Structure 1
Amino acid sequence: MDGGAQFTLHDEEGGGTMLALSGPLLVSTIGKLERELSRLGHEVGRVDLSDVEEMDTVGAWVVCRFATHQSAAITGTTPSAKRLLEAVEAASSDVEITPDRTPVWERVPLALGEKVYAARSGVYGVVGFFGQILIGFGSLLRHPSTFPLKATVRQMEMVGVAALPIIGLMSFLIGIVIAQQGAVQLAQFGAETLTVNLVGRITLRELGVLMTAIMVAGRSGSAFAAQIGTMKLTEEVDAMRTIGISPIERLVIPRILACTFMMVVLGFYASIVGIVGGAVVGHLSLGIPFFTFLERIQEVVPLHDVWVGLVKAPVFGLIVALAGCYHGMQVKGNSEQVGIRTTMAVVSAIFAVIVLDAFFAVFFTEIGWG
């Protein structure tokens, strides 16, 4: 152990044993000494550092751990070594400080107030994000040649065309359920034929568009947040800004246009498929011929019900796209944020869609389209 840290044992007056360390106690020299001290079988009452040439943090930690384990005193330290040992001992202490827990009647209002205050910054962020989108639209209107047509068409395919099977299946089953349950209830009054009215109006006016918006939020809104969020983590968004490409114009606006336009198509498609599902139940369970059911729909459903659904569809699409893109652009830090923001995008979009649907219900009733 030439040139390295070493130790010797000495018997002291009174029957105790002293451990004398010598040489440099550094991270590069203390490895063998640390292993030998861990195997030492003697009880040591004092650790003497008079012959120690140098000592770093690792050496001080080994000395402190050994002295604590042996309940031994440390002597022969220089002023600098003493300060280092005291710092290491303080840092490695196992004292656990537990703050007093405030009562629940104080914690709950405090947490609620913090969330309300944090919501203010969220509102500012959404308003600012919407302003960036308006500026991006203005830039594209001034320079139509820069419009991302291919990206928009691609997003329309992903949001609309690829969603046709699942939206169709969902709407068909909803139409079946509405017709079957409505017929059971109306049969108590001998008014099974009014099932046509029920299916037609509730599908075209409410459920066709609403369920489609919820499905698009879960399917496309989450995809928007995950895609843009991943691009933020991999610094692709920063790279776009560096080379002079606006992320709003290339990533956000194509998704907003695609979702807004395709929601109209998907909402109308879902309403038609839902009516077909109701017609199937009418033909099989109520004895109403399939085409008679469809002809009856044209007689009992006012045209303004169709317009109600068509007016709500683009608004719902805009909300879903805004929620997905906004939360995607807020991702930062680590990959966990992608999952958190994706969940927030879906939840906030569905919540906003349902709130707006309630507003539209009251509004259209007030203007006589109830």
Structure 2
Amino acid sequence: MQATATTPTRRPDRQPAGATIAPGDGRVALDGRWTADQGGAVETAAARIATEARVRPVVVDLGDVARLDTLGAWVLERTRGEIEAAGGHLTYAGVRPEHRILLGEMQLRDPEPASPVRQGRVVALLDGLGRRVVRGGHDLVTGLAFLGEVIAACLRVASRPSSFRGRAFVNQIEQVAFRGVPIIFLISFLVGGIVAQQGIFQLQRFGAAAFVVNLIGLLILRELGVLLTSIMVAGRSGSAFTAEIGSMRMREEVDALRVMGLDPIEILIVPRILALVVGLPMLTLIAALAALTGGGLTAMAYGGLTLEQFLARLQAAVGVHHVLVGLIKAPFMALIIGIIATIEGFAVEGSAESLGRHVTASVVKSIFMVIVLDGLFAVFFAAIDF
């Protein structure tokens, strides 16, 4: 008895993707597996559908499709989009519910272009002003929240003195205070001399050149000393804080600290802000002495005063409370500079452009807030007659 060889029939769910075009009526019947492992066959069948759609509208029948995954659905939707973009038309038939859901998810959706809104100059100005006010309010809330986190971290460090990073604090004191002395001394010396010179030129018209000592004494000790120092520290140390923390953010070092179970605020922020709070009053005192020295030399050179006359008038014009006014402002300004600098540092994203933008914002915001705070203190001390 002779055995007869039979050819095994191919199972429908194992067949490659195919597309059978019915002649004349523009109907294309899909079959086989429209899946990722049949990518070449899927692309070939889709090309046949696109070719047929060039001459007539096409109806794609998915009734005999064994399997359809996201790749097959995406290719079909991509082909439909290309056909409709060229002015053709493609519709589906025999779509099972699961295929309909998948095709719907893969459907190409072009974003609707936003219609341009023409605004007048006044409306545009008010719109920009409103947006800046909203951003300012958001920055204020963020700053207050961050200040709360810093205070909480300081209280945790105070309750566990062994966790205080003394070396980091001493290093920041060196960076903020000691290395900042030369530039702050020089700038304050020059500004004191300039203020004294201009004051003498104006007061000489009234025969009161000697009163320039009162002018520079009160102005420097109460306002200019702490203001100049804060602006210099904001530009020097504040920008450095933002750049350091921003670089750590870019290298994901801050995230690494959190993964290790460490608090970045305790490790990075607390030593820097404490160094600012301690160092800025010292720099303010040095700046005031430098400005008074520059003003005194100028008064002796342009106003004809002797050293004994200058010191006598200065002692009569100013008191200890004038010195205290500048020193009281300094820690608050240091806190403002530190909070703004560290917030901007933590806001840096993963690009050099972002780092530069936030360093600039740190300096600008710090100087602005320092001037605002100085004005508020001036109003407060005037109200209490101090």
Task: Indicate how the Cα distance of structure 1 residues 164 and 21 shifts in structure 2: closer, same or farther if over 3 A, else same.
Answer: farther
Determine helix, strand or coil for the equivalent of 1:44.
Answer: coil
Give the total of aligned pairs.
Answer: 357
**Residue deviations 1:88-141 (CA, integer Å, cap 9, x gap):** 79533565475999996997999699669757853751453244134234224x
Q: How does 1:1-370 map to 2 (within 5 A)?
A: 12=24, 18=26, 28-29=39-40, 30-31=42-43, 43-47=54-58, 49-50=60-61, 53=65, 56-74=72-90, 77-80=93-96, 83=100, 87=104, 91-92=108-109, 95-96=112-113, 118=138, 121-122=141-142, 125-126=145-146, 128-140=148-160, 143=161, 145-232=162-249, 234-288=251-305, 291=307, 295=311, 298-304=314-320, 305-326=322-343, 328=345, 331=347, 342=359, 345-365=362-382, 368-369=385-386
Q: Once the two structures are aligned, what percentage of the paired residues are identical? A: 31
Task: Indicate how the Cα distance of structure 1 residues 216 and 71 shifts in structure 2: closer, same or farther if over 3 A, else same.
Answer: same
Is the Cα–Cα contact under 8 Å of residues 179 and 195 in structure 1 kept in the other structure? yes
Task: Indicate how the Cα distance of structure 1 residues 66 and 264 shifts in structure 2: closer, same or farther if over 3 A, else same.
Answer: closer
Question: What is the identity, as a one-letter code, of the residue corresponding to 2:341?
Answer: G
Is the Cα–Cα contact under 8 Å of residues 132 and 248 in structure 1 kept in the other structure? no
Deviates more, 1:171-180 or 1:86-95: 86-95
Is the Cα–Cα contact under 8 Å of residues 129 and 326 in structure 1 kept in the other structure? no
Question: What is the identity, as a one-letter code, of the residue corresponding to 2:336?
Answer: I
In structure 2, C-alpha distance between the alignment counterparts of 1:117 and 1:309, rounded to whole Å = 29
Task: Indicate how the Cα distance of structure 1 residues 186 and 83 shifts in structure 2: closer, same or farther if over 3 A, else same.
Answer: same
Question: What is the identity, as a one-letter code, of the residue corresponding to 2:156?
Answer: G
In structure 2, C-alpha distance between the alignment counterparts of 1:74 and 1:122, rounded to whole Å = 53
Deviates more, 1:212-221 or 1:43-52: 43-52
Is the Cα–Cα contact under 8 Å of residues 64 and 89 in structure 1 kept in the other structure? no
In structure 2, the gaps of 5 or more residues are 1-14
Determine helix, strand or coil for the equivalent of 1:79.
Answer: coil
**Residue deviations 1:38-66 (CA, integer Å, cap 9, x gap):** 8x699411335459856612321343134
- RMSD (Å), alpha carbons: 4.5
Task: Indicate how the Cα distance of structure 1 residues 220 and 63 shifts in structure 2: closer, same or farther if over 3 A, else same.
Answer: same
**Residue 178 (structure 1) shift:** 1.1
Deviates more, 1:274-283 or 1:169-178: 274-283
In structure 1, the gaps of 5 or more residues are none
Deviates more, 1:72-81 or 1:301-310: 72-81
Determine helix, strand or coil for the equivalent of 2:93.
Answer: coil
Question: What is the identity, as a one-letter code, of the residue corresponding to 2:90?
Answer: I
Task: Indicate how the Cα distance of structure 1 residues 363 and 100 shifts in structure 2: closer, same or farther if over 3 A, else same.
Answer: closer
Task: Indicate how the Cα distance of structure 1 residues 164 and 126 shifts in structure 2: closer, same or farther if over 3 A, else same.
Answer: same
**Residue deviations 1:146-187 (CA, integer Å, cap 9, x gap):** 432211111011111222233233223322331232222212
